[in-house]
Amino acid sequence: MQILEKVSEVRALMEEARSQGRTIGVMGTSGRMHEGHLSLVRQAIAENDVAVMFWLGDLRFSWAGGEKVPGLYDRDWETDRALCESTGIEYVYLPDSDDYMPQRPVTLTLVPSLATGCPRMEEPAHLDEVTTATAKLWGIFGRMRYYSGEKDWQQLAMFKRMAVDLSTEVEVIGCPVARESDGLAMSSRNVKLTPEERERASGLYLALQEGAAAIEAGERSPGAVEALMQDRLAGIGDPLYVHCVDAETLQPMETLRGAIRLIASVQIGVVPLVDNIGVDVGVDV
């Protein structure tokens, strides 16, 4: 496994691969890897001639005093390295922080209609950071297939729209949610659950399944479906949000039709969990 640290190294690899007509697949993480991340790596490897993973869990910028970026304090490359190697991936971009971002950025890439212009889900400030960082990485890598998990559906929808709006040569590939045997979506947060909380946590996926079943049985009122899921989630924790939205635009719907995404979050103890599933009822129903 070859470690790339400089932007110039990544670009040289990408340019060589493209000059040879080789396809390129890229996925990434900020660390604390689990099987969900690894499933994206394996898909990128399987579907491309060259696969690269970026790992951003140890960014420390000189212009920020050399401190680790807030939120990344519990990411450790050496812990994740063995997991990366187990996939057989050839290249990992582990940025030299000051080469990757030599000065405090003043340019933002925002997708308002899918962040603040839709039912509230993830924190808008966090989404702005994610989309800006992703646009920067796309600028480094260039033409490629970019693999992103469906568990963070809001982010995936934003990436797909960005790729079109910015006229990139990036094909965004959504990858299925990796789940535990009881249906709980795999997440680095799951290890923070107590055994009793972990047992309750599977109820999030069950609530989404009940909502989907109601739609498939003929329910077309988003309010009725959301109320059903809200009631189920109240039995396992503190529901943070429950939404039935258009899968592409994330906008509310008066009547459920076409491609729908059921998206929900529940806090169990101190841990907020998120998950979603899709339902397609057909535009003529």
Q: Let me know: does 236 contact 204? Beta carbons within 8 Å.
A: yes
Rounded-to-5 percentages of helix, strand, coil across the chain? 40, 20, 35
Name the active-site residue from 34, 37, 126, 243.
37
Report how far residue 224's alpha carbon sits from residue 209's, in angstroms, rounded to the nearest whole number.
14
Strands 24-29 and 144-149: parallel
Report how far residue 272's alpha carbon sits from residue 265's, in angstroms, rounded to the nearest whole number.
7
Report how far residue 53's alpha carbon sits from residue 154's, in angstroms, rounded to the nearest whole number.
21
| 34 assigned to active site | no
Report how far residue 229's alpha carbon sits from residue 136's, in angstroms, rounded to the nearest whole number.
37
Report how far residue 198's alpha carbon sits from residue 200's, in angstroms, rounded to the nearest whole number.
5
Active site residues: 37
